């Protein structure tokens, strides 16, 4: 079993198509951790999802600046984390770490840790990379609403192809080609933002991006299986 891992769960995965909290999905996700005997250090970083975007849009309509909008995204990602902790019950550390110092303290308890955003100007993917670097985890798993990274937007193009592996340089090209003006706005940081790319380059972290909509692939990963549908990003 994996010694140290960091898992980023996109906030959108916590909600149903009808914009309701997906309670069954949240329980299913936590169950994967509960039912397998494990030891080691596991940190889950949870995103803000739709609910964060609703608040960010409201603040923007009041002419709030992007940094203020980001603080709403951070707060909502921490609320989502608190919700996951309540589903984990005794399996999780009861507080959401809000700084790396608080994370250091939480690590002493040997339980699953769930946390959200840290500071404005980045996404929770950057937080996940910062945490992976900080705890020296073997790899980072990013659970998103598609099966990995594609050569073009799979939500817009039917012929988009899943990329099985990517180097950091290839990932950078994809990010640069796909980012529009809004890429660095609150609530708009895509799977990888500029900060995450910088941390990736200096830390040489291995990442697997896989579906969190259908948790089958993640279960396989958790059981230590190798044949997983995902995109592997490495140096
Ligand atoms: P994310 O955009 O990372 O959430 O954080 P998400 O729901 O996981 O995104 P998807 O589903 O993967 O696309 C929500 C917002 O919170 C702010 C940003 O505005 C971000 O868009 N945030 C988050 C920060 O400002 N700093 C952080 O450290 C994390």
Closest ligand 1 atom number to CA of residue 71: 25
Ligand 1, residues at Cβ distance < 6 Å: 10-12, 47-49, 52, 70, 73-74, 77, 117-120, 122-125, 127, 186-187, 189
- Per-residue pLDDT of 16-60, as tens digits, reads 988 899 999 999 999 999 876 667 899 999 999 999 999 999 999
Closest ligand 1 atom number to CA of residue 188: 21
Q: For the chain, what is the mean pLDDT?
A: 92
**Confidence (pLDDT) at 183:** 56
Distance 37 CA to ligand 1 centre (A): 31
Round to whole Å and give the CA distance between 130 and 109. 20
- Report whether pLDDT(2) > 70: no
Distance 148 CA to ligand 1 centre (A): 18
Distance 51 CA to ligand 1 centre (A): 11
- Report whether pLDDT(180) > 90: no
Whether 50 contacts 76, CB under 8 Å: no
**Confidence (pLDDT) at 39:** 74
149: its two tokens: 């990274």
Question: What integer is the mean pLDDT of 53-82?
Answer: 97
Distance 190 CA to ligand 1 centre (A): 9
What residues contact 1, with CB distance under 8 A and at least 6 apart? 36, 37, 38, 39, 40, 224
Higher-confidence residue of 188 and 217: namely 217
73: its two tokens: 């995204």
- In eight-state DSSP terms, residue 56 is H
Distance 75 CA to ligand 1 centre (A): 10
- Report whether pLDDT(7) > 70: yes
Distance 187 CA to ligand 1 centre (A): 6
217: its two tokens: 């692939």
DSSP string spanning 139-152? EEEEEESSSS-BSS
Nearest of 139, 133, 97 to residue 118 by alpha carbon: 97
Whether 226 contacts 159, CB under 8 Å: no
- Per-residue pLDDT of 87-136, as tens digits, reads 999 999 999 999 999 999 999 999 999 999 999 999 999 999 999 999 99
Closest ligand 1 atom number to CA of residue 50: 7
Q: Confidence class of residue 194 from pLDDT cuts 50, 70 and 90?
A: confident
For a mutational test of ligand 1's pocket, the pick from 123, 145, 186, 194, i.e. the residue with the most ligand atoms closer than 8 A to its C-beta, is: 123
Closest C-alpha residue for ligand 1 atom 15 = 73
User: Given the DSSP bridges, would you call strands 165-166 and 231-233 parallel, antiparallel or unpaired?
Assistant: parallel
Total-model pTM: 0.94
Whether 22 contacts 53, CB under 8 Å: no
Round to whole Å and give the CA distance between 155 and 17. 15
Full strand arrangement of the beta sheet holding 139-144: 113-115, 41-46, 4-9, 139-144, 206-211, 231-233, 165-166
Distance 176 CA to ligand 1 centre (A): 19
Which domains does the chain carry? Answer: 4-233 (3.40.1160.10)
């Amino acid at each position: 079993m994996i010694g140290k891992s960091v898992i980023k769960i996109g906030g959108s995965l916590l909600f149903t198509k009808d914009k309701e909290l997906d309670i069954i999905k949240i329980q299913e996700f936590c169950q994967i951790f509960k039912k397998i005997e494990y030891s080691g250090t596991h940190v889950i970083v949870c995103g803000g999802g739709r609910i964060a975007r609703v608040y960010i849009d409201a603040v923007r309509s009041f002419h709030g600046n992007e940094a203020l909008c980001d603080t709403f995204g951070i707060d909502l990602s921490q609320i989502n984390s608190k919700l996951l902790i309540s589903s984990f019950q005794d399996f999780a550390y009861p507080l959401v770490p809000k700084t790396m110092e608080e994370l250091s303290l939480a690590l002493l308890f040997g339980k699953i840790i769930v946390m959200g955003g840290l500071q404005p100007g980045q996404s929770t993917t950057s937080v996940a990379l910062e945490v992976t670097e900080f705890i020296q985890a073997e790899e980072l798993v990013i659970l998103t609403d598609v099966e990995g990274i594609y050569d073009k937007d799979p939500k817009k193009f039917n012929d988009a192809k899943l990329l099985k592996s990517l180097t950091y340089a290839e990932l950078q090209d994809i990010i640069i080609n796909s980012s529009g003006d809004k890429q660095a706005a609150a609530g708009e940081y895509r799977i990888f933002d500029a900060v995450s790319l910088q941390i990736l380059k200096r830390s040489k972290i291995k990442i697997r991006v896989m579906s969190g909509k259908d948790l089958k692939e993640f279960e396989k990963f958790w059981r230590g299986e190798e044949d997983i549908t995902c995109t592997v990003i490495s140096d």
